[in-house]
Amino acid sequence: MTTTLPDAPGATTALAAASAVLRRNWGGAYTVPATGLYPHQWSWDSAFIAIGLRHLSARRAQVELDSLLSSQWADGRLPQIVYDTRRDDDYAPSAAFWGSADLPGSPAVPTTGLVQPPVHAWAVWLVHVQDLRESGRRRFLERAYPRLLAWHRYLRDRRAAADGLAAVVHPWESGTDNSPLWDDALARVPGVPRAAIERPDLKHASAGERPSGKEYGKYFWLAERYRDHGCADVDPEHPFLLDDPTTNALWARSELAMADIAEALGQDGAPHRAEAARIVAAMEMLWDDGLGTYVARDRATGALVRKATVGGLLALLLPDDVLPAGRGDALVRTVLGRRFLDVDGATPPIMAPSYDACAPDLDPALYWRGPAWFNMMWLLLEGLRAHGRTDVADRYVGPMTDAAVREDFPEYVNPWTGAGHGTRSFSWTAALAVDLLSRHTHPEGADTP
């Protein structure tokens, strides 16, 4: 692939376009993922958005994370969605569906009871180092650290089994909602909830690019079940309990960020580094040597879900001294191999598909069943850089940011053509384009080797 880092003039135009998206989606204390399809605050979206916003305004990036952290439950969980009740008819399930005010330990604002992958501590650290003075002045780390501690404690005490891996109780918690990883487990979930299934999402994205009606029935049923058990994580019969590679890898990566945060605050980072090592060691139970990736595990059956998804590669974010010997190299091989970036293939994608390119059921336009997502590709590029493959990572920055701008910051793209899908003016696409353009623009406008 003959591609380059973006040149400075091109990057300036792209940055302006991306910043405009983030301005339009900013609501005063946080950025909605998209004004139509996703009109509330989403947990891991805010983390990715802050990573981009820090280049535009460190203060705004801090406020983005502060607002999410201030919606924490008493048990430490950071909710998947913090609702804007003025928009309660515009997304389902709504704040009224969850009724969080009636649940013990819920915050003052209405939220879901679910969570999303824990990328927050890492985002807090990246925002902090971007502007140490502003962070210090606002005591950003001092305020964030206890909340992040409680969040990670929630994962360990309420979501991790004795073997140490954190489980998701709903596909929405994985952030990769209709990933093929969840199909078998969802097969045993009833598909007819008590609540009427509303689909305001279909006003903003075509049905062929969203989860199916059948999947939505199961999503609602599971959400009702979790809510009706008080979101208390004590339901022994909860029918969907899976160890998710995305959640666990990001948890481990965030523990390393917690070590940095603790040390910046004059505290001991060693327990966090030990916790990261513990999670990575537990993740060995999810390793599939044949696929060269981590997979999911279904706690109901104990069986591994042997499918290669982009989330299974995220342990690449951990350095070699944390990963088991040889694991980093194996993950790099898988990322670059035919299932994902296919760098030696005849038609390599411009971004990694969310699902194994060799799987016969990959669909390049259907949500988390094949299309490329900007947050996942950004994470892979960070992982490649962490393993000394900056040369490879650099090659994707230009095509990725070009596709983002050309397609009006789409939610996701066809990995091979870059054609946009889902909603447009999508915040994390714009934010991560800002991050890539700010960090990796070629100053002379000349080709990089």
For residue 93, say if its preceding peptide bond is cis, omega within 30 degrees of 0: yes
User: What are the distances in angstroms from CA 137 to CA 47, 64, 70, 128, 134?
Assistant: 21, 17, 19, 11, 5
- Residue among 282 and 317 whose Cβ is closer to ligand 2M8: 317
Residue whose tokens read 């075509």: 206
Question: Considering only 37-45, 55-63, 180-188, 235-243, which stretch makes contact with ligand 2M8 by CB under 6 A?
Answer: 37-45
CA 260 to mean position of chain CA atoms: 21
Task: State the CB neighbour count (10 A cutoff) for residue 268.
Answer: 10
**Near ligand 2M8 in 57-86, by CB under 6 A:** 80
- Residue among 175 and 245 whose Cβ is closer to ligand 2M8: 175
CA 143 to mean position of chain CA atoms: 23
- Residue among 38 and 251 whose Cβ is closer to ligand 2M8: 38
- Residue 145 binds to ligand 2M8 (criterion: CB under 6 A): no
Distance CA 22, CA 428 (A): 9
β partners of residue 294: 287
Active-site entry in 201, 233, 407, 411: 411
Pairing outcome for strands 167-168 and 81-82: unpaired
**Near ligand 2M8 in 4-33, by CB under 6 A:** 33
Distance CA 171, CA 312 (A): 15
- Residue 172 binds to ligand 2M8 (criterion: CB under 6 A): yes
Selected from 76, 79, 93, 175, the binder of ligand 2M8 by CB under 6 A is 175
For residues 55 and 130, the answer to whether their CB atoms sit within 8 Å is yes
CA angle at 274 for the pair 384 and 262, rounded to the nearest 5°: 85
Reply yes or no on whether 342 is catalytic.
no
Distance CA 255, CA 266 (A): 16
- Residue 251 binds to ligand 2M8 (criterion: CB under 6 A): no
Question: Considering only 40-48, 268-276, 383-391, 413-421, which stretch makes contact with ligand 2M8 by CB under 6 A?
Answer: 40-48
Selected from 26, 42, 83, 240, the binder of ligand 2M8 by CB under 6 A is 42
Distance CA 195, CA 6 (A): 49
- Residue 353 binds to ligand 2M8 (criterion: CB under 6 A): no
Report in angstroms how near the CB of residue 34 gets to ligand 2M8 at its nearest: 7
Task: State the CB neighbour count (10 A cutoff) for residue 349.
Answer: 24
Question: Considering only 124-132, 170-178, 186-194, 333-341, which stretch makes contact with ligand 2M8 by CB under 6 A?
Answer: 170-178
Selected from 10, 15, 45, 52, the binder of ligand 2M8 by CB under 6 A is 45
Cα within 13 Å of Cα(38), Cβ side: 24
Looking at residue 196, what DSSP letter applies? -
CA angle at 306 for the pair 300 and 307, rounded to the nearest 5°: 120
Question: Considering only 58-66, 169-177, 181-189, 270-278, which stretch makes contact with ligand 2M8 by CB under 6 A?
Answer: 169-177
- Number of residues near ligand 2M8 (by CB under 6 A): 10
For residues 179 and 355, the answer to whether their CB atoms sit within 8 Å is yes
Report in angstroms how near the CB of residue 448 gets to ligand 2M8 at its nearest: 32
Residue type, 87: R
Active-site entry in 177, 342, 382, 407: 177
Reply yes or no on whether 177 is catalytic.
yes
- Residue among 261 and 413 whose Cβ is closer to ligand 2M8: 413
- Residue among 38 and 378 whose Cβ is closer to ligand 2M8: 38
Distance CA 190, CA 35 (A): 32
- Residue among 90 and 177 whose Cβ is closer to ligand 2M8: 177
- Residue 226 binds to ligand 2M8 (criterion: CB under 6 A): no
- Residue 38 binds to ligand 2M8 (criterion: CB under 6 A): yes
Sort 266 into a burial class: Cβ within 10 Å, 0-12 / 13-18 / 19+: exposed
- Residue among 200 and 399 whose Cβ is closer to ligand 2M8: 200
- Residue among 5 and 49 whose Cβ is closer to ligand 2M8: 49
- Residue 44 binds to ligand 2M8 (criterion: CB under 6 A): yes
* Footprint on this chain of ligand 2M8 (rule: CB under 6 A): 33, 38, 42, 44-45, 80, 172, 175, 177, 201
- Report, as residue numbers or ranges, the catalytic residues: 177, 411
